[in-house]
Chain A
Amino acid sequence: MTSLPAPGVAAAATSPLLRLRSALLNGSAPALPTLCALAGTLLLFVLFLLVQGKPAGEACLLIFQGAFGTMFAWQNTLQRAAPLLLTALCVALPARVGLIVIGGEGALALGGLAAAVMPQLLPGLPSLVMLVVMALAAMLAGGLWIALCGGLRQWRGVNETIASLLLSYLAVAVFKHLVEGPLRDPASLNKPSTLPLPDPYLIGSMPGLEVHWGLAWGALACLAAWVFLRHSVPGFAMGVVGGNVRTARLVGLPVNRLILTACALGGAAAGLAGMFEVSAVQGSATSALLAGYGFSGILVAFAARQNPLAIIVCALVIGGVEASGSLLQRRLDLPDATTLVLQGLLFCNLLAWEAITGRLAALKLRWQQQAQVIPAKEAGHA
């Protein structure tokens, strides 16, 4: 999240100190609140564990080891990051038009379900064609679901944050109803699931890795979203809508269509995540799909400040944190909710430290006023 160079900073300064100051002066330092938030999170987390009488230092070390310490840990991390890339887009794209959508979990579930039933609806398709059909079905299901949130917001004035979460609960209910009822594979006894996908329709690992192709497609989707938002006309228009709807209306932008498109694209991304979970990890649609990727995606998107490129970095970090949970459990006997606490602290800190950005602007103004005085002295000195 700190790896993105702020525009106009790198060129201006050379020494680290100067660069920091110039970053602060330009007010384009997304790095500073993020760094403060990371430090604050770590401090609070350590404090929390110390109060519990747990070995805090060892826990932090284990989180790092469990996330990035070994090849196995890396693969575990990447495996978890793959759906996060896509569910985070489900937050970041609607955020571009000013909507806070938190219902990615439902879109993921419906997408996974749509993908899982495709082989039964259209039996006998060649493997590649079927995978494309499954992906399209998943994206359609997820996209329509989240577009519904945008539609309700635009046409009925229903707050999209609450509507998306309610729709997510509804989607999960429909998912469970279908998986345990009409679509249940009679052979699945304790763990109800749909009929398993035939082997040709399963997605394998990427060469040389134990990680499925969903990771590459997720990263590609983030890249595409970044290009779309940054360099395309509709992407720019979405930014205008998100900035000020009234202005957007005034200059004649199709506000409703842009909002629906952003929501549909985000939902399609989450639906695709469901398809990959089904065809690369689970092999059928089961309740194991509902592992909270939709909710972690919210955190990833906020940590990335809704920037699709930064999502790639943040998804790795959050995926790593989640992957380290089992190591913490095994070694230190900490509950699996430890990583949830860490995520919660991180989320709260990220938002709270955002407040210093405003303070920075005030500081910048003061420095600029000083800078107007100083050059005269410097000129005399030289």
Chain B
Amino acid sequence: MHDIDFTTLLLALFAGAIRVGTPFLFVSLGECLTEKGGRVNLGLEGILVCGAMTGYAASFYSGSAWLGVLAAGCTGLLLGVLHGVVCSLPRVNDIAFGIALMLLGTGLAFFLGKPFIQPQAPMLPSIDLGAWSSNDRLHHALQINALFFIGVVLALVLQWGLSATRWGLALRLVGDHAETARALGYRLTGTRIAATAAGGFLAAVGGAYLSLYYPGSWNEGLSSGQGLMAVALVIFARWQPWRCLLAALLFGAAGALGPALQAVGVTSGYYLFNAAPYALTLLIMIMTCRPDRTLSSAPGELSLTR
């Protein structure tokens, strides 16, 4: 009896790590790109919600969930450009504007998304890796969305791109030492705007995953701070895309803890278990941050880790 419960729990955690972790993966990859360029975008939270709404709406109208993902990405791109451009103006604090964008993004999503709370849009398909298994639970746990694999590939590509390509080097230079980058003739503003825009695109795709796959509907309580936790996740991942993958899986597992425990019959402390990702984020930040020096691998121009 006890054994079965334990395997169920582990399976649920494994499945949850991937299912709940995928949006974390996309948002943290986006934030990683943005922060590599020396800016912080707290507005990713708003972009994520906006992406979830546009993704759902576009999927509903076009009948194709992948078009929905693309539409979400484009919305994210636009909002990312907005953040990038405004923060390039003098005297604009990127953290403060991120908070503002969070408010604006959720406002727009709630306003424009009102008509989409009821109807059912086409969902993203999942890949059935567990077809060989006769075990129902295992079968269910191995149904993994295609976006997860895209995210994994993306993490590896970004890892390679940041370390080995000219573009990656330019971005890192701009984020690490603006003066040097300027002296070498790199375009500071353009590079940062591009990085923020790309970050917005990825975050919005993460949002589309929320509304088009898991939990798989559009409503106003869809996001619970994933966009913000991405900032902490990136610190935990030390600005390395492949580590973002590990961090996202860890956070996914933490996020799946509450539902997983409920599945095996532990119902008390529902809210507390659901708050596990926030507690984990805070704990990780407390453990990894240092008061007297910036983190060794942090981009030098980042206002976040002063």
Mask, A121-140, CB within 8 Å of B = 1, is 00000000000000000000
Is B110 in contact with chain A by the CB < 8 A criterion?
A: yes
Q: A344-B103, A347-B100, A351-B96 are in contact. Are A166 and B290 (CB under 8 A)?
A: no
The residues in B between 249 and 306 inclusive whose CB is less than 8 angstroms from any CB of A are 268-272, 274-275, 278-279, 281-282, 285-286, 289-292, 304-305
Q: A351-B92, A351-B96 are in contact. Are A163 and B282 (CB under 8 A)?
A: yes
The residues in A between 152 and 202 inclusive whose CB is less than 8 angstroms from any CB of B are 152, 154-159, 161-163, 165-167, 169-170, 173-174, 176-177, 180-181
Count class of interface residues, chain A: 35 or more
What distance in Å separates the Cβ of B301 from its nearest Cβ neighbour in chain A? 15
The residues in B between 75 and 94 inclusive whose CB is less than 8 angstroms from any CB of A are 82, 86, 89-93
Bound CA span A159–B295, Å: 12
Is B169 in contact with chain A by the CB < 8 A criterion?
A: no
Q: Which residues from B are CB-within-8-Å of A350?
A: 100
Is A248 in contact with chain B by the CB < 8 A criterion?
A: no
Q: Which residues from B are CB-within-8-Å of A167?
A: 282
**Within the complex, which residue of A177, A342, A344, A348 is in contact with B272, where a contact is CB–CB below 8 Å?**
A177
Q: Which residues from B are CB-within-8-Å of A155?
A: 291
Q: Which residues from A are CB-within-8-Å of B72?
A: none
Q: A165-B225, A357-B91 are in contact. Are A337 and B271 (CB under 8 A)?
A: no
**Within the complex, which residue of A154, A159, A173, A359 is in contact with B278, where a contact is CB–CB below 8 Å?**
A173
Q: Which residues from B are CB-within-8-Å of A343?
A: 103, 107
Chain B at the A interface: mostly helix, strand, loop or mixed?
helix
Mask, A352-370, CB within 8 Å of B = 1, is 1011011100000000000
What distance in Å separates the Cβ of B259 from its nearest Cβ neighbour in chain A? 15
Are A347 and B92 within 8 A (Cβ)? Answer: no
Are A340 and B92 within 8 A (Cβ)? Answer: no
Is A144 in contact with chain B by the CB < 8 A criterion?
A: no
Q: Which residues from B are CB-within-8-Å of A181?
A: 268-269
Is A5 in contact with chain B by the CB < 8 A criterion?
A: no
Q: Which residues from B are CB-within-8-Å of A348?
A: 82, 86, 97, 100-101, 104
Can you list 8 residue pairs at the A/B interface with Cβ under 8 Å? A157-B289, A161-B42, A163-B282, A163-B285, A174-B272, A181-B268, A341-B104, A355-B89
